[in-house]
Structure 1
C-alpha cells in the first residue's frame, strides 16, 4: 500500500531518517482505505504509517507513533511521561481503556512532606509520578498488537541515532537495552514483552532511574517502579444523538465531556446555527456546570467513590439543565448534588486566580487500520523544566495535578493517580467505530474535543473542516495544574471565555451582553486531531489542525 496524501509542511531533510514511502507524502489531512495516522510532528506520523505499511495493526502503529513522539515532540511528551489510551478491538468489538499513568510515590513520608510543605507547582522532580509510557506501550502491544517491540521501536531508534543531543544517545542506549531483553528471552511473545517491561521497571534501567531520583531530589524509588501496572479498564460512555461516546474514567477529566453532552442533548443546536450567540452560549454554560462537577467529585476511583452513575443519570441531568439561562451567563461555581439529587450543592462567589502556574503542553495520536481497529491516545509529560536523566528518560510534574485539600477526592495519597487533563475520545455508531479524537491543551482538551465533535455530529463536518473551524472555550473552572489546597484560589476566571478572532464581532458583542467576559485570539485554541470512518464508502478521513502543527497521513 502507499500513502494517498501529498507532501507538505516540513523539508525533506527533517524526515530522511524514515522510509520515503512513509514520510514524503505527509501533510495535515488525508483520506484512504488502508489505514490512517494523525499525530504531532511529521516523523511521528511517518513512524505509524511505516508500521501499517509493513502489515502492523492499529495497536502496533499507535505504539510506534507514541515512541516516535517521545523524540519528535520532546517537551510535549517524553519516554518518562504518561499516556491514556482508548482502543476499539475489531475481534471482540469492545472498547477498552489502558491507563498509562503512574501514581504518586508510595512512601508515606514523601506524602506527608507534601502536606507539610505543599506540592511544588512550578516545576520540580519532587512532583514526578511513576513513568507510565513504557509499560503502556508494552501492554498495548501484548494485548492488542501483532509485532515485536523491536519492530515498532525501529523508527524511533533511527530518529535517536540521527539525534545530536546528549539525551538522544542516552535514550537510544536505553531502548537498545529493551530490544536486547526481548531478543535474549527464549519464550512466548508475551514473555518476551514482559522481559522488556521488567528491564525498565525492575532491572538495571530501574536501578539507573533510582540513582537519578536520589541525585535529583525526586521522591520516587525503585519499589514505585516495580509496583506500577498499566490498568485495563472499562470506559465511561454516554449516547448522544445516536452516537456512543467513550472516555477514560474519572482519573482523567474525560467524564465531564459526557456530562456536557447529556446537558446539550436537550437543545436543538442545529436550529441555533453553528457559532451563533445562542450556540456558543449554551455550550459554554453546559461546560461550566460539567466542569464544576469535575472539580468537585473526580479523582482516582481506586481511592475515592466517584458518583459517575448519578452524575450521568437522566434524573440528575434533568435537574441541572434548567440552570442554563439563555440570556444570562453564570458567574458562579455551581457543582450539583448527585446524591440528593439536587441541582446545586452550593454556589460560590469567585475571585480569579492570580497564580502563575507554568504548563508545558501535550501531543496527540489517533490510528485506524484496515481491519477495523481504532486507537486514540493523548501522550504527555509536562516537563516544566525537568531535564533528562542519565538513561535519557525525562519525567514531568503530574503529581501537581493532585492537591492537599482535606477530604478532597483528588487529594494526594501514596500511589494515587492524579486527576489528569489527558483525555482521548473514541466514538461508536451502530456498533462500529466512527470517530477518534485527541487534543493537546490541558484544561482546554475536552472543550476543544467538544467543539470538534459537535462540528461533526450536529453540523456534518468532515475532520478537515471540524479541526480548522473557529473554536471557543471557557476559563470558568479550576486550574488542573494548581495544587493549592484552597481550591477557590485555583479558580481561573469567573465568566471568562475566549473565541477565535474569526468569530464575528456581532457574535462577540451579543455574548458580552449576556454577561460573558470575552477575549479573542488569533492562534489555535488547543491542538486537535480527528479521524472519521465512513463505513459506507470504506474511507478513513483524518486531519490535524495545521495551525497547531498537527500532521496526518493515510494508506490507499
Structure 2
C-alpha cells in the first residue's frame, strides 16, 4: 500500500529515526527534545519558559508544572484561572501514581428544572450560567503544598509578570477579536479584552503588550496571603493554603461571587468555601507489560483503558499501521468504549456509582470485542452491560432499552469536511472545483469545533523521578470574567446532561462534578516511569492519546514521531461540549476523520465498510509527551506540530 500519508514537510537539520515496522525513516516537522536533568512541555512557548525557570531555580517537576499551569492560565491558552485542573503525579519516593481531582462543582441552584425552565436540553455553552466553581487555583495550591518545594511567590512570579504585561500571541489576540460580539455581553470581559474598543479591530494586536491589572491584583493578593502566614510563623504548606483560603473564602471570593451574580451567575460564597480538591487513586490497566494510568470516571480517561482492554484481542502489528483493517478496528473499539462512557461515566462521589470494575475487566472486553464485525461499521453501537462482570445485576436495563428507542444516531453524510483549525493552512491548496465542498465544510465547522474544542496540557519530569501530567481547562475565550478579579469563569457545566436517558450518572445536581473530557496520562514499565502524555481536543482526547500510545508501543515511534503521526477520529459518540439541543450532540454514525494524505486504496476500502469520510490536514492532537529512556537514563520530549505547543529540556 502507498505510504504518502507518512511523509511530512521537513525542517533542515531535524534528526530522523527508523520506524521498525515500516522499515523507512519518518522525519518530523519539529525536532525531538532531549534532556538529562529535566523536561518542561506545555501549550505556549512563554509558559514552557516559566517551567524552565523553576527548574533552573532548583525546583522539582511539580514546581515547574505549577509554574507552567499558572502561566498558561494567564495567557488564556484556551483556559483561565477560573477553570479546572486534573493531574497525575508520579511520586518517586512512594513509587506510585497519585491522582488530583481539582474539578469544580455545579453551584447552588444548578438543577435540571432550572435549566429546563429556560428551554435548554443541556446547560449553556457560554456565560455565567455555564460555570462550575473554579478548580485551578485550589488544585495548584494543593499540588504545590503537598508535592512541590518552592513557595507560591516563586511559582507565581512568571504569571504575575505576565499579568503586568506580556506580548500577546496572534492565536490569542485573534481569538479575542473573533469572539468580541459575545465578549461585549459581559462588562468585565469587555474591560479586559477589548483594549481598542470602537476601532475596526478591538482586540489587541499580535505582539502588543497585553495588561491584565485586575488579574495582577488577584495573583498578588495570593502571594500577600502566603507572606503574611510565613511572617506569622506558619510553615510552607500552611502558608500556601492561606493563599488558597483567601481565594475561596476571603475577599477574592467575595468579589468573584459578586461579579458572577451581577451577570446572572449562580455561584455562592458557600459553594466556593465548601469546594476542595481531592487526592484520589487513579485507575489503570496493563497492556503488554505497561501499566497505563488514568483518572477516575469523572473524566473520559477510562475510555482509553477500556479501548486497550479491547485491543488485547487483536493483532495490530499484523494489520499494519493505519491500514484499512487497523483503522476499522480502532474505530469499532473506540465506539464501544465511548458508548459505555456516554452512559456509565460520572462523578463517583454521587450515586449511582459507575460499574467501573466491570467496565475495565478483561472478560467484559473480550465479550465486547467479539461483537465487532471485521468487514463493516456498526452504526448502532450501544452501551454494554458490565454489571455481571462484577457480580451484580444492572439496575438500568429498562432505561437502556428506552434509550435505544429514543436516541438514534445521526446518519446523514458529512463528507469532505476540513476542520476549522485547518482553514488557513489548506484553503490555498483547493482547486475551484472544491468550492462547493469547502462551503459545506465551513457550515459544518460548528459541530467539529465542539468535537475538537481544546484545552492545553502540561508535562514535566526531573532527574529525581518526579513526573507530572496535567490537562487543565475551562474559562476559555470568549470568557465571562467574574467582577474585578480578572478571573474567567469555567464553561464546564455544559458537560452535564439533563436527561437520565442519556446518562443517569451525569445528571446535573448542585455540588456534583460533571463528567469531563480532560484526561492526562501516565504509563509505567517495570514499575518505573515510561510515558507521560496528554492532549487537547474535547472528545478526541482519548482517541488521539490511544493512538499515540499504540504508535509508541506497537510501532516503535519516538515521542516526536508519535505526536505528529496521522490519527483517525470517530464522531460516533455523544459530544460532551457545545450546543443546547439534543441534535447538536447526537452521535454521527460512521463519521470518520482521516488525514488528507491517506492513500486512495485505504479510503476506498473504508468507504465500502460503511464509513462517511472527512479529511483534515492535521488530526494528531496536539499531543505533548515525555518518554523515559530507561536504558540510557535520559528524557525524550515530544511536542506536536499541530499548534503552539513547546518544550524545553536540559
Alignment partner, residue 399 of structure 1: 493
Q: How big is each residue's C-alpha offset from its partner over 1:327-376, in whole Å with a ceiling of 9 and x where there is no partner?
A: 11111132101124599966664225999566452111111011011010
Provide the C-alpha distance between the structure 1 equivalents of 2:166 and 2:480, rounded to a whole number of angstroms: 17
Asked whether the equivalents of residues 223 and 243 of structure 2 are also in contact (C-alpha less than 8 Å), the reply is yes
Provide the C-alpha distance between the structure 2 equivalents of 1:282 and 1:149, rounded to a whole number of angstroms: 47
Asked whether the equivalents of residues 402 and 483 of structure 1 are also in contact (C-alpha less than 8 Å), the reply is no
Provide the C-alpha distance between the structure 2 equivalents of 1:28 and 1:181, rounded to a whole number of angstroms: 42
Deviation at residue 169 of structure 1 after TM alignment: 1.4
Provide the C-alpha distance between the structure 2 equivalents of 1:171 and 1:86, rounded to a whole number of angstroms: 27
Alignment partner, residue 317 of structure 1: 365
SS at 1:546 equivalent? coil
Alignment partner, residue 381 of structure 2: 333
Alignment partner, residue 177 of structure 1: 221
Deviation at residue 498 of structure 1 after TM alignment: 0.5
Alignment partner, residue 548 of structure 1: 643
Alignment partner, residue 263 of structure 1: 310
SS at 2:73 equivalent? helix
- Cα 1:527–1:287 change in 2 (3 A) is same
Does residue 37 (structure 1) correspond to residue 132 (structure 2)? The answer is no
Provide the C-alpha distance between the structure 2 equivalents of 1:355 and 1:362, rounded to a whole number of angstroms: 18
Asked whether the equivalents of residues 564 and 640 of structure 2 are also in contact (C-alpha less than 8 Å), the reply is yes
Alignment partner, residue 609 of structure 2: 514
Deviation at residue 525 of structure 1 after TM alignment: 4.2
Q: How big is each residue's C-alpha offset from its partner over 1:399-452, in whole Å with a ceiling of 9 and x where there is no partner?
A: 010011137111001111000000000001100011011100000101010111
Asked whether the equivalents of residues 69 and 458 of structure 2 are also in contact (C-alpha less than 8 Å), the reply is yes
How do residues 444-455 of structure 1 correspond to structure 2 at under 5 angstroms? 444-455=540-551
Alignment partner, residue 387 of structure 1: 480
- Cα 1:388–1:242 change in 2 (3 A) is same
Alignment partner, residue 462 of structure 2: 369
Does residue 465 (structure 1) correspond to residue 466 (structure 2)? The answer is no
- Cα 1:378–1:445 change in 2 (3 A) is same
SS at 1:328 equivalent? coil
Asked whether the equivalents of residues 362 and 441 of structure 1 are also in contact (C-alpha less than 8 Å), the reply is yes
Provide the C-alpha distance between the structure 2 equivalents of 1:240 and 1:485, rounded to a whole number of angstroms: 38
Provide the C-alpha distance between the structure 1 equivalents of 2:331 and 2:479, rounded to a whole number of angstroms: 35
SS at 2:461 equivalent? strand
Does residue 55 (structure 1) correspond to residue 58 (structure 2)? The answer is yes
Asked whether the equivalents of residues 48 and 62 of structure 1 are also in contact (C-alpha less than 8 Å), the reply is yes
Tell me the TM-score normalised to structure 2 length: 0.78
Tell me the TM-score normalised to structure 1 length: 0.91
Provide the C-alpha distance between the structure 2 equivalents of 1:84 and 1:206, rounded to a whole number of angstroms: 22
Asked whether the equivalents of residues 213 and 219 of structure 1 are also in contact (C-alpha less than 8 Å), the reply is yes
SS at 1:379 equivalent? coil
**Which residue among 410, 413, 424 is the counterpart of 1:351?**
410
How do residues 136-285 of structure 1 correspond to structure 2 at under 5 angstroms? 136-163=139-166, 168-185=212-229, 186=232, 187-285=234-332
Alignment partner, residue 525 of structure 2: 429
SS at 1:541 equivalent? strand
Alignment partner, residue 116 of structure 1: 117
SS at 2:615 equivalent? strand
SS at 2:532 equivalent? strand
Alignment partner, residue 77 of structure 1: 79
Q: How big is each residue's C-alpha offset from its partner over 1:104-142, in whole Å with a ceiling of 9 and x where there is no partner?
A: 01347x554124333443312111000000000000011
Asked whether the equivalents of residues 404 and 483 of structure 1 are also in contact (C-alpha less than 8 Å), the reply is no
Alignment partner, residue 203 of structure 2: none
Provide the C-alpha distance between the structure 1 equivalents of 2:554 and 2:313, rounded to a whole number of angstroms: 13
- Cα 1:138–1:477 change in 2 (3 A) is same
Deviation at residue 546 of structure 1 after TM alignment: 1.9
Does residue 66 (structure 1) correspond to residue 125 (structure 2)? The answer is no
Asked whether the equivalents of residues 477 and 493 of structure 1 are also in contact (C-alpha less than 8 Å), the reply is yes
Alignment partner, residue 3 of structure 1: none
Deviation at residue 510 of structure 1 after TM alignment: 1.1
Provide the C-alpha distance between the structure 1 equivalents of 2:505 and 2:476, rounded to a whole number of angstroms: 25
Deviation at residue 483 of structure 1 after TM alignment: 7.2
**Which residue among 125, 128, 133 is the counterpart of 1:125?**
128
SS at 1:509 equivalent? helix
SS at 1:88 equivalent? strand
Q: How big is each residue's C-alpha offset from its partner over 1:284-334, in whole Å with a ceiling of 9 and x where there is no partner?
A: 100000000000100001112100001111221121011111111111132
Q: Which runs of 5+ in 2 are unaligned?
A: 1-10, 12-29, 168-191, 194-210, 413-443
Deviation at residue 382 of structure 1 after TM alignment: 4.9
Asked whether the equivalents of residues 405 and 485 of structure 1 are also in contact (C-alpha less than 8 Å), the reply is no
- Cα 1:291–1:406 change in 2 (3 A) is closer
Q: How big is each residue's C-alpha offset from its partner over 1:174-222, in whole Å with a ceiling of 9 and x where there is no partner?
A: 0001001101112111210110100000000001101101111111011
Does residue 294 (structure 1) correspond to residue 389 (structure 2)? The answer is no
- Cα 1:455–1:449 change in 2 (3 A) is same
Does residue 106 (structure 1) correspond to residue 108 (structure 2)? The answer is yes
Alpha-carbon RMSD: 2.3
Asked whether the equivalents of residues 101 and 278 of structure 2 are also in contact (C-alpha less than 8 Å), the reply is yes
Larger mean Cα displacement after TM superposition, 421-430 or 504-513: 504-513
Provide the C-alpha distance between the structure 2 equivalents of 1:133 and 1:255, rounded to a whole number of angstroms: 22
Asked whether the equivalents of residues 82 and 475 of structure 2 are also in contact (C-alpha less than 8 Å), the reply is no
Alignment partner, residue 11 of structure 1: none
Larger mean Cα displacement after TM superposition, 358-367 or 139-148: 358-367
Alignment partner, residue 419 of structure 2: none
Provide the C-alpha distance between the structure 1 equivalents of 2:115 and 2:77, rounded to a whole number of angstroms: 26
Asked whether the equivalents of residues 125 and 578 of structure 2 are also in contact (C-alpha less than 8 Å), the reply is no
Larger mean Cα displacement after TM superposition, 165-174 or 135-144: 165-174
Deviation at residue 526 of structure 1 after TM alignment: 2.9
Q: Which runs of 5+ in 1 are unaligned?
A: 1-7, 9-26
Asked whether the equivalents of residues 127 and 480 of structure 2 are also in contact (C-alpha less than 8 Å), the reply is no
Provide the C-alpha distance between the structure 2 equivalents of 1:521 and 1:276, rounded to a whole number of angstroms: 17
- Cα 1:111–1:334 change in 2 (3 A) is closer
Larger mean Cα displacement after TM superposition, 500-509 or 475-484: 475-484
Asked whether the equivalents of residues 384 and 397 of structure 1 are also in contact (C-alpha less than 8 Å), the reply is no
SS at 1:317 equivalent? helix
Provide the C-alpha distance between the structure 2 equivalents of 1:111 and 1:225, rounded to a whole number of angstroms: 21
Q: How big is each residue's C-alpha offset from its partner over 1:382-404, in whole Å with a ceiling of 9 and x where there is no partner?
A: 53533323111001211010011
Aligned residues between the structures? 528
